[in-house]
Amino acid sequence: MNRQTQPNVIVFFTDQQRWDTTGVHGNPLGLTPNFDRMAQEGTHVAHSFTCQPVCGPARSCLQTGRYATTTGCYRNGIPLPEDSKTLAHYFTEAGYRTGYIGKWHLSDEEPVPTGKRGGYEYWLASNLLEFTSNSYDTVMYNGSNEAVKLPGYRVDAMTDAAIRYIDEHQKDPFFLFLSYIEPHHQNHLDNYPAPIGYEGMYTGKWSPPDLTALGGSAPQHLGGYYGMVKRLDEALGRLMDAVRSLGLSDNTIILFTSDHGCHFKTRNSEYKRSCHDSSLRVPTAITGPGFTGGGRVQRLVSLIDLPPTLLEAASIPVPDTMEGHSIVPAVRKIREDRPDDIFVQISESQVGRAIRTQRWKYSVEAPDKSGWKDSSSDTYVEQFLYDLDADPYELTNLIGLDKFEPIVEQLRIRLIQTIQEVEGYTPVIVPAETKASVQRRASIQDLNYR
């Protein structure tokens, strides 16, 4: 390819960001004007979900286009195998310069040795950025594994580094992966440190219905969390301004997404690792050639669909080993003959699996397995069923109610089929104990699993 036909690609990747922090998803606080404009003028992936709601596994999926059980990185602390082929390898083979800035979380060493960097050429990163840095003390490691301290609030320091990279590499096609830690909590503080003055702007303001109903740590943490989201959006605006000022806008694809959401200790004892949309659903938008004016993608999209999407958008052949599906056909309004659902693997808090359709959420767990020691199970038991049309914030668990037996049967079959396709074995799913419904039992015509 020549320079004119190779678009630059930038991934703007946040950590632990709920979809409903954005204006296009109904947040009334004006936190994300730049993301909202990107979604409205580019392509808004309106129903976007992680396939693994924990940091390391989600990153392994996004780097390789393969499920966490396929790479073996089913929980945090398992390094990406050094022979794994990542986005960096595919873009390098296509003539791109590649760069990684920020949180890696796919190694078992800090600093990360060259062989464990996923093939990225330029490196300014930490494996566990939440431990090598604080909000006003940004320390990462360069390509020689020398500690580098960057000035400013951590979001700004990383954005400055990204803008420098773009400026220095504008003459060649580049693939830049910019991986923020915000709005993830600062682990050793169990707090969400926003820029000075930002937390107070949003404390006591609008709260999503699930957090209002269930509480958790949201009253304590939501102001700081929103302040971090606000600064991330300002960073997105600065990055897009830099691209525009360098005359690269028409030839640069920018993907904004996150690894998973945040439920603020309402679903388990921490912030993610559950089947609920508060853990799974993330904001995603894409702009640039092939995506500007793309409108709103209505089908469900998984994190694992994004690697083949980026490759196809850059005219790089998508390997058969990738397990997701490019959304480029959906952006081009090409009808696709495949199920409109997503498959989720849950680890650490439990060994769990889930299927989400447009209307239904169905989740199972293996109560006799360790979410830390075991990647899968031969036997699961039914745990959750939510009707997302009637209960979008998943406050009423319907599993076991006899009224919903027909839909559960369909979802159980679909989940087993998906586990067969992805993981290569056929599990047993033990039905939940049946409870009588107050209302009449629904017929199969009343309920549709899609």
Per-residue pLDDT of 280-334, as tens digits, reads: 999 999 999 999 999 999 999 999 999 999 999 999 999 999 999 999 999 999 9
Predicted confidence at residue 449, as pLDDT, reads: 59
- 164 pLDDT exceeds 60? yes
Q: How far apart are the first and last CA of the chain?
A: 42
Identity (one letter) of the amino acid at 254? I
Average pLDDT over the chain reads 96
Topology (CATH level 3) of domain 350-430: Arylsulfatase, C-terminal domain (3.30.1120)
Q: Which two tokens stand for residue 449?
A: 């699993």
Which is nearest to 228 in space by CA: 262, 195, 187, 188?
Answer: 195
Asked if residue 329 has a cis previous peptide bond (ω within 30° of 0), the answer is no
DSSP of 367-423: TTS-TTT-S--SEEEEEEEEETTT-TT--S--TTBGGGHHHHHHHHHHHHHHHHHHH
For residue 441, the model assigns a pLDDT of 41
Side-by-side strand order, sheet with 97-103: 147-150, 138-141, 122-126, 97-103, 174-179, 8-14, 252-258, 285-287, 43-45, 295-297
Above 80 in pLDDT, residue 447? Answer: no
Output the CA–CA distances (angstroms, integers) from residue 100 to 122, 126, 179, in the order listed.
Answer: 6, 10, 8
**Structure confidence at residue 58 (pLDDT):** 98
pLDDT tens across 168-188, in order?
A: 999 999 999 999 999 999 999
CA distance 123 to 145: 9
Number of H helices, E strands in the chain: 13, 18
How far, in Å, CA of 450 to CA of 434, rounded? 23
pLDDT tens for each residue of 245-261: 999 999 999 999 999 99
Sign of CA dihedral 115, 121, 123, 126: negative
pLDDT digit string, tens, across residues 189-212: 999 999 999 999 999 999 999 999
SS3 for 145-173, per residue?
Answer: CCEEEECCCHHHHHHHHHHHHHHHCCCCC
Q: Provide the pLDDT for residue 440.
A: 40
**Residue labelled with tokens 């400055």:** 160
- Both structure tokens of 219: 């009253």
Q: 130: helix, coil or strand? A: helix
**Structure tokens, 217:** 């740590």
Q: Which of these CATH numbers, 3.40.50.300, 3.40.720.10, 3.40.50.2300, 3.20.20.140, describes 7-331?
A: 3.40.720.10
Domain ranges of the chain: 7-331, 350-430
Structure tokens at 331: 């952006």
